[in-house]
Amino acid sequence: MPEDPLDPAIPRSVVLVVGSGRSGTSTMAGALRTLGMHVPQPEVPADDTNPKGFGEPQWVVDFHAELLQRCGVQVSDGRPAAWFEAGKTAGFEPSRERLHLWLEEQLVTGGHELVVKDPRLAWFAGLWRSAALRCEAQVSFVTMLRPPAEVVGSKQRYYAGQGGLNRTAGDTTRTAAWVNMMLHTERATRGDRRVFVRYADLLDDWTVPLFDIGRRFGLVSLQEANANHVRAVHAFIDPGLRRVQATWDDVDVPDRLRDLAQATWDQLDLLVDPDHDGPEVHARLDALRADYTAMYAEAEALSASTALAAHRRGLATLPAPVNAVVRRGADRVPHKLRAAVPPAARARLRKALGRER
């Protein structure tokens, strides 16, 4: 490491690690930190799902959780429309100012080269891009890639039972969320400085992708890392971290969704080679994103009755008068008076009001 990470000669740089949860984002962030980049403190503490730590600043996690709650989006949301809802936050000036002030403080106190990771981060790429620009820092993205069946299998292992879904519904929902997250993350970072890294490559020989990141992003911490840092990363990265190696035979999802997820993986995998990060692959990814959006719209239409029934059950659990049924104006008219209106006239009134009965 350079003697002074706050040396004004070192350009300000913010590296954002994005991708689906359980795809190696924590390992990447931890490796960059071990090589000398600064992870803002305090961090989310390690647990059984990530025994070597998450590499996530607690402030960032809390900030993103607040924004997601405000716009009604989940961390792993399969709805294409969720990107529009989350994107609105990029134009909300109080949120922009909060992130700008926090990021400026980290660059002043922690060092000119920051690494920030959170599975919620991709929803707010525009917000981070704006904050980095205000701080006169270069923003770069590292997108972690792991086969979708492995991601879903890993989530099933560590998060089974969350959300009250059975195995089939859980696998389907998680696969859909992976497709939605990865296709839209690729689109949201297109045109930025970015690299794509396979999780398997990071575990097999971390020196290749990490020093390539240092070269392509001009990161002094990585380019001037010494032998002690290298040994520390060797100790940090354990190939045994890849504890789930599932295939599509281990995941119960509809054939059409499985085929779309596999096609998405095949195209994203090409982006590891920067020569493929161009119009041809972009066009195929755009087509896949359109296919997924159409598929999701069909699923929403088919399940509308189920969603409405769930909404009604939810209303029934609320205390009166919140759950009271609001009576229409016609319902408040005595039956005898309504019966006196000729059927043809009643039909015309219903048609004018857009009601079936």
H, E, C per residue of the chain: CCCCCCCCCCCCEEEEEECCCCCCHHHHHHHHHHCCCECCCCECCCECCECCCCCCEHHHHHHHHHHHHHHCCCCCCCCCCHHHHHHHHHHCHHHHHHHHHHHHHHHHHCCCEEEEECCCHHHHHHHHHHHHHHCCCEEEEEEEECCHHHHHHHHHHHHCCHHHCCHHHHHHHHHHHHHHHHHHHHHHHCCCEEEEEEHHHHHHCCHHHHHHHHHHHCCHHHHCCCHHHHHHHHHHCCHHHCCCCCCHHHCCCCHHHHHHHHHHHHHHHHCCCHHHCCHHHHHHHHHHHHHHHHHHHHHHHHCHHHHHHHHHHHHHCCCCCCCCCCCCCHHHCCHHHHHCCCHHHHHHHHHHHCCCC
Tokens 């086969």 belong to: 147
- Across the range 46-67, mean pLDDT stands at 93
Interacting residues of 161 by C-beta distance below 8 A, sequence separation 6+: none
pLDDT given for residue 351 in this prediction? 62
Query: How high is the pLDDT of residue 236?
Result: 94
Structure tokens at 149: 């069946």
pLDDT above 70 coverage of the chain, percent: 85
Of the candidates 198, 213, 193, the one whose C-alpha atom is nearest the C-alpha of residue 37 is 213
Average pLDDT taken over every residue of the chain = 89
The pLDDT, as a whole number, for residue 331 is 53
Q: Are 192 and 129 a contacting pair, CB within 8 Å?
A: yes
Token pair of 279 as six digits: 């119009």
Check whether 113 has a pLDDT greater than 90. yes
Exposure on the CB side of residue 271, measured as CA atoms within 13 A:
31
Short-list 254, 286, 248, 256, CA closest to 147: 248
- Crossing angle (nearest 10°) for helices 93-109 and 58-71: 170
pLDDT, mean of residues 168-183: 94
Edge-to-edge strand list for the sheet holding 138-145: 113-117, 13-18, 138-145, 193-198
- Poorest-confidence range of 44-58, 59-73, 206-220, 330-344? 330-344
**pLDDT of 9 above 90:** no
What tens digit of pLDDT does each residue of 251-292 get? 999 999 999 999 999 999 999 999 999 999 999 999 999 999
